[in-house]
């Protein structure tokens, strides 16, 4: 077959955070396996952690928190809709993973006695571990990739997964983003680690790439999984974050909170009890922003000089280091003024909320041989450490699967159809530029899908997305770079349709702002205490259905259940 | 279909005196997660080819001669 690029045992797609861990763990499981890490960018600087990270948002460290407490916290923060087994599997492995990263050379904050210096940000428990020197994450991972002899393939993008006659994984079809050529990689098992759907909504700046997420993550994995027949879950539980206005990055309350910074209204008053990001918190943020007390700010100007210096060092050297440059341009000094905050565009991301590809506690999707980890795998509020832990699970599971399966045969018809689809924009002359199609699509996402969610608007949105679907064939690409962007537009359109259909399906409101439906403003546990799943059915149509919630393994009492519904600060006089 | 070109200001500035692409350097081209930088084949210097920047800074941090300066894109600044 002329398109064949490689034959491997395990193919990991996406080399950001979860991907490198998955590849290393698959190799550790069995060093004889051929493991390939495929990355759209370059693994040295790719993904959400390309410039490092300023802390672990969900560290479960003995003496500070137990796995049971963590499972409770996330169950409540995610309004009850969790498969607790998956969250528990993460929580139990969290501490081992931190210790391993520590041995690998990741620098976490420690106290005088050498213990991890964990801080309280969440509503109930204590889970935030700062990493003021966390800018070298990618170097640490790269060293491990080399050590484990993982085969790295940079600047290739997966466009569709390849299935065998029984619907099991047979590999992936890919685009060489520098050459603009099409190829096939045969594999016994595949791990999706392509991150969030970060280019779904349009940032209010109008700049297509000024997103919260690293914009290489266009929702590729969501679409790859969907077209392979995998079940997705909680797509209606959008990711919406409180960000620095215009800059559109985190400020971030997790860093500043433990030092005494907090989210305030225009009067400088605190209005939420807890700055941990949840849909319930975002609802209060939204109300304050839209109400008479807006805009909303991050307040630090009351802090001591030394404290502000420390905060500046963390925020301006790590994670999103251009924050300092932005403030400088606006002449904002944390000592003298508050940081104006805003609401991000919508996205899909289980790292922050709960929208993702359905996985069990071994990172297995519903497609045999397909595993998923990181932001695109549905394990609520999983963040960076969750990406590492599920990367580990996925690497181990995919290695085991590869060891007990033969390389499946390749279906020439799938390859032919995909080659035609991928290369089409190169032969369209003077067609629509991908950037223009993307701009229009994402503006419609804002217009019709952004909460508050209105039924009629979402229905109109579906019509518009169908029209854009028809436009895709008219896109032309002048070079390989534009071809990559054109293929991303396909992914974004798929994600937009998924977001609309999943949101229409769940006829109640849940997760605060993430799924606030104007016509169904109340939570309806009688009908909707369940997962809402989405998949491509036999006829090729997008369908939604319910999946019951597995019995909890950690029970909650009534007080705990309600904790995230009481986030607004109650003034003494009103309370009395 | 009829087409036109729009002018846009891009956020990445390369100091061509400092850039050593003529000596074979392509570090920034490899670093950029969005693949936006390229080497001008005539001038043999790096430049920003596409206005799709995440203002994330790997290009600037990894450049061996500090030839790159990333500004916040004008629309956000
Ligand atoms: C600005 C920001 C701040 C954050 N702060 C924190 C924090 O302080 N603490 C914390 O715990 N978490 C934080 N997070 C969340 C955390 O970074 C993520 O949950 C985690 O890094 C996700 O890992 P991932 O592997 O799923 O995705 P990524 O690390 O983004 O990796 C995805 C990779 O897939 C590649 N890719 C995409 N599509 C394709 C394709 N089609 N083919 C091949 N490759 C592809 C991309 O290039 C990318 O390298 C933050 C996230 C962001 C964006
Ligand atoms: S990394 Fe610096 S020196 Fe090298 S090509 Fe880029 S700008 Fe020039
Ligand atoms: S700042 Fe980031 S996205 Fe912009 S050119 Fe540099 S590496 Fe690329």
Question: What residues have CB less than 8 Å from A77, skipping those under 6 apart?
Answer: A122, A123, A276, A278, A280, A380, A381, A564
Indicate yes or no: CB of B56 within 8 angstroms of CB of A210: no
On whether residue A19 sits in a domain, the answer given is yes
**Cβ of B56 less than 6 Å from ligand 3:** yes
On whether residue A381 sits in a domain, the answer given is yes
- Same domain, residue pair A376 and A472: yes
Spatial distance between the Cα atoms of A520 and A381, rounded to a whole number of angstroms: 25
- Same domain, residue pair A290 and A378: no
Question: What residues have CB less than 8 Å from B40, skipping those under 6 apart?
Answer: B46, B47
Domains: count for chain B: 1
Identify the burial level of A295 via C-beta atoms within 10 angstroms of its C-beta, where 0-12 means exposed, 13-18 middle and 19 or more buried. middle
Give me the pLDDT at residue A255, please.
84
Spell out which residues of chain A touch residue B77, defining contact as CB-CB under 8 Å: 246, 326, 329
Spatial distance between the Cα atoms of A187 and A96, rounded to a whole number of angstroms: 30
Spatial distance between the Cα atoms of A550 and A418, rounded to a whole number of angstroms: 38
Give me the pLDDT at residue A384, please.
97
Give me the pLDDT at residue A122, please.
82
On whether residue A325 sits in a domain, the answer given is yes
- For A45, the closest of B31, B53, B71 (CB atoms) is B31
Residue by residue, pLDDT tens for chain A (576 residues) are 579 999 999 999 999 999 999 999 999 999 999 999 999 999 999 999 999 998 899 999 999 999 999 999 999 999 999 999 999 999 999 999 999 999 999 999 999 999 999 988 888 888 999 988 888 999 999 999 999 999 999 999 999 999 999 999 999 999 999 999 999 999 999 999 999 999 999 999 999 999 999 999 999 999 999 999 999 999 999 999 999 999 999 987 788 888 899 999 999 999 998 888 889 999 999 999 998 999 999 999 999 999 999 899 888 888 899 999 999 999 999 999 999 999 999 999 999 999 999 999 999 999 999 999 999 999 999 999 999 999 999 999 999 999 999 999 999 999 999 999 999 999 999 899 999 999 999 999 999 999 999 999 999 999 999 999 999 999 999 999 999 999 999 999 999 999 999 999 999 999 999 999 999 999 999 999 999 999 999 999 999 999 999 999 999 988 787 777 777 777 654 443
**Would you tell me how many other CB atoms lie within 10 Å of the CB of residue A413?**
8
Q: Is there a contact between A490 and A197 (Cβ–Cβ < 8 Å)?
A: no
Q: Is there a contact between A90 and A389 (Cβ–Cβ < 8 Å)?
A: yes
Domain of residue B42, CATH code: 3.30.70.20
Give me the pLDDT at residue A417, please.
98
Q: Is there a contact between A41 and A216 (Cβ–Cβ < 8 Å)?
A: yes
Q: Which domain holds residue B30?
A: 12-68
Q: Ligand 3 centre and the CA of B54: distance in Å?
A: 6
What per-residue string of b and e applies to A167-182 under the rule 16 or more CB within 10 Å gives b?
A: ebbbbbbbbbbeebbb
Of A85, A80, A17, A89, the C-alpha closest to A60 is A89
Identify the burial level of A334 via C-beta atoms within 10 angstroms of its C-beta, where 0-12 means exposed, 13-18 middle and 19 or more buried. buried
Give the CA radius of gyration of chain B.
13
Spell out which residues of chain A touch residue B76, defining contact as CB-CB under 8 Å: 205, 207, 210, 246-248, 326
Chain A to chain B Cβ contacts (< 8 Å): 85
Give the residues across from A157 on adjacent strands.
A175
- Same domain, residue pair A202 and A274: no
Give me the pLDDT at residue A574, please.
45
Residue of A nearest to B2 (CA): A430
Q: Ligand 3 centre and the CA of B31: distance in Å?
A: 8
On whether residue A96 sits in a domain, the answer given is no
Spatial distance between the Cα atoms of A215 and A201, rounded to a whole number of angstroms: 11
B-contacting residues in A 229-248 (Cβ below 8 Å): 246-248
Shortest Cα distance from B61 to chain A (angstroms)?
A: 9
Give me the pLDDT at residue A571, please.
65
Of A112, A89, A168, the C-alpha closest to A361 is A89
- Same domain, residue pair A229 and A251: no
Domains: count for chain A: 2
Indicate yes or no: CB of B58 within 8 angstroms of CB of A211: no
Q: Is the minimum CB–CB distance between A324 and chain B shorter than 8 Å?
A: no
In the sheet that A356-357 helps form, which strands lie side by side, from edge to edge?
A: A356-357, A232-233, A530-536, A542-548
On whether residue A418 sits in a domain, the answer given is yes
- Tokens 């799943």 correspond to A533
Identify the burial level of A89 via C-beta atoms within 10 angstroms of its C-beta, where 0-12 means exposed, 13-18 middle and 19 or more buried. buried
Question: What residues have CB less than 8 Å from A313, skipping those under 6 apart?
Answer: A132
Tokens at A314, concatenated: 């963390």
- Same domain, residue pair A318 and A219: no
Give chain B's contact residues with A (Cβ, < 8 Å).
1-3, 30-35, 49-50, 52-58, 61-62, 70-73, 75-77
On whether residue A550 sits in a domain, the answer given is no
Spatial distance between the Cα atoms of A496 and A558, rounded to a whole number of angstroms: 36
Question: What residues have CB less than 8 Å from A8, skipping those under 6 apart?
Answer: A34, A35, A36, A151, A185, A186, A187, A188
- Same domain, residue pair A314 and A412: no
Spell out which residues of chain B touch residue A484, defining contact as CB-CB under 8 Å: 35
Domain of residue A31, CATH code: 3.50.50.60
**Cβ of B68 less than 6 Å from ligand 2:** yes
Strand A530-536 vs strand A232-233: parallel, antiparallel, or unpaired?
antiparallel
Secondary structure E strands in A221-350: 232-233, 242-244, 262-264, 296-299, 339-343
- For B54, the closest of A154, A206, A209 (CB atoms) is A209
Residue of A nearest to B50 (CA): A481
The string of DSSP codes covering chain B is ----------SEEE-TTT--GGGT--HHHHH-TT--EEEETTTTEEEE--S------HHHHH-TT--EEEPPPTTT-
Q: Which ligand is nearest to the CA of B25?
A: 2
Strand A4-13 vs strand A35-39: parallel, antiparallel, or unpaired?
parallel
Spatial distance between the Cα atoms of A203 and A457, rounded to a whole number of angstroms: 19
On whether residue A561 sits in a domain, the answer given is no
- Same domain, residue pair A432 and A517: yes
What per-residue string of b and e applies to A421-450 under the rule 16 or more CB within 10 Å gives b?
A: bbebbbeeeebbbbbebbebbbebbbebbb
Domain of residue A296, CATH code: 3.90.700.10
Indicate yes or no: CB of A209 within 8 angstroms of CB of B58: no
Backbone angles phi, psi at A370, to 5 degrees: -110, 125
- End residue of a domain, out of A327, A343, A359: A343
Q: A109-116 — which CB contacts under 8 Å span 24+ positions?
A: A115/A63, A116/A59, A116/A61, A116/A64
Give me the pLDDT at residue A418, please.
98
- Same domain, residue pair A270 and A180: no
Tokens at A238, concatenated: 């959008």
Spatial distance between the Cα atoms of B40 and B27, rounded to a whole number of angstroms: 14
- Same domain, residue pair A455 and A409: yes
Strand A262-264 vs strand A4-13: parallel, antiparallel, or unpaired?
unpaired
- For B57, the closest of A211, A246, A322 (CB atoms) is A322
- Tokens 């290369």 correspond to A423
Q: How far is CA A540 from CA A2, A124, A176, A472, in A?
A: 29, 44, 28, 18
Of A47, A48, A89, the C-alpha closest to A67 is A89
- Same domain, residue pair A225 and A297: no
Q: Which domain holds residue A474?
A: 1-50+142-240+345-531
Q: Which ligand is nearest to the CA of B24?
A: 2
On whether residue A190 sits in a domain, the answer given is yes
């Amino acid at each position: 077959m002329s398109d064949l690029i490689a034959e491997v045992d395990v193919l990991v797609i996406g080399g950001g955070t979860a991907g490198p861990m998955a590849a290393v763990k698959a190799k550790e499981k069995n060093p004889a396996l051929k493991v390939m890490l495929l990355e759209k960018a370059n693994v040295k600087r790719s993904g959400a952690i390309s410039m490092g990270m300023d802390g672990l948002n969900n560290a479960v460290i003995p003496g500070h928190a137990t796995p049971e407490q963590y499972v409770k916290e996330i169950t409540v923060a995610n309004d009850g809709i969790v498969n607790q087994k998956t969250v528990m599997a993460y929580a139990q492995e969290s501490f081992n993973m931190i210790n391993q990263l520590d041995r690998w050379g990741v620098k976490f904050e420690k106290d005088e006695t050498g213990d991890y210096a964990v801080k309280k940000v969440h509503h109930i428990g204590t889970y935030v571990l700062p990493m003021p020197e966390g800018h070298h994450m990618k170097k640490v991972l790269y060293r491990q990739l080399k050590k484990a002899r993982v085969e790295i393939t940079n600047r290739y993008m997966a466009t569709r997964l390849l299935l065998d006659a029984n619907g099991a994984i047979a590999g992936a079809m890919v685009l060489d983003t520098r050459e603009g050529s099409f190829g096939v990689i045969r594999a016994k098992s595949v791990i999706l680690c392509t991150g969030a759907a970060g280019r779904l909504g349009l940032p209010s700046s109008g700049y297509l790439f000024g997103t919260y997420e690293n914009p290489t993550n266009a929702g590729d994995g969501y679409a790859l999984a969907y077209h392979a027949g995998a079940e997705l879950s909680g797509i209606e539980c959008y990711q919406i974050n409180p960000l620095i206005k215009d800059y559109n990055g985190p400020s971030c309350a997790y860093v500043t909170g433990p030092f005494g910074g907090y989210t305030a209204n225009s009067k400088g008053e605190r209005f939420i009890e807890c700055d941990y990001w949840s849909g319930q918190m975002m609802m209060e943020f939204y109300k304050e922003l839209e109400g008479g007390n807006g805009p909303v700010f991050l307040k630090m100007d009351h802090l001591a000089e030394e404290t502000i210096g420390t905060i500046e060092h963390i925020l301006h050297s790590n994670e999103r280091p251009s924050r300092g440059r932005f403030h400088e341009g606006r002449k904002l000094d944390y000592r003298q003024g508050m940081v104006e905050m805003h609401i991000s565009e919508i996205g899909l991301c289980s790292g922050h909320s709960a929208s993702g590809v359905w996985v069990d506690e071994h990172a297995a999707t519903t497609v045999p041989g397909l595993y998923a980890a990181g932001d695109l795998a549905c394990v609520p509020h999983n963040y960076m450490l969750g990406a590492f832990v599920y990367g580990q699970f996925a690497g181990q599971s995919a290695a085991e699967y590869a060891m007990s399966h033969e390389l499946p045969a390749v279906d020439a018809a799938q390859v032919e159809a995909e080659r035609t689809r991928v290369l089409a924009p190169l032969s369209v002359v003077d067609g629509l530029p991908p950037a223009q199609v993307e701009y229009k699509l994402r503006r419609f996402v804002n217009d019709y899908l952004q909460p508050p969610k209105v039924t009629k608007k979402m229905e109109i949105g579906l019509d518009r997305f169908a029209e854009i679907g028809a436009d895709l064939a008219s896109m032309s690409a002048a070079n390989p770079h534009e071809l990559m962007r054109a293929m991303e537009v396909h992914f974004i359109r798929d994600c937009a349709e998924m977001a609309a259909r999943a949101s229409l399906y769940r006829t109640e409101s849940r997760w605060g702002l993430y799924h606030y439906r104007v016509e169904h403003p109340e939570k309806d546990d009688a009908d909707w205490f369940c997962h809402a799943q989405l998949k491509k059915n036999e006829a090729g149509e997008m369908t939604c259905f319910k999946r019951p919630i597995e019995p909890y393994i950690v029970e909650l009492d009534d007080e705990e259940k309600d904790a995230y519904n009481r986030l607004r600060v109650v003034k003494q006089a009103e309370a009395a | 279909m009829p087409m036109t070109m729009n002018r846009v200001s891009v956020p990445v500035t390369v100091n061509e005196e400092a850039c050593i692409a003529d000596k074979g350097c392509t570090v920034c081209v490899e670093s950029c997660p969005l693949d936006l930088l390229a080497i001008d084949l005539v001038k043999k210097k790096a430049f920003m080819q596409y206005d799709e920047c995440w203002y994330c800074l790997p290009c600037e941090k990894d450049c061996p001669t500090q030839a790159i300066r990333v500004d916040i894109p004008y629309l956000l600044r």
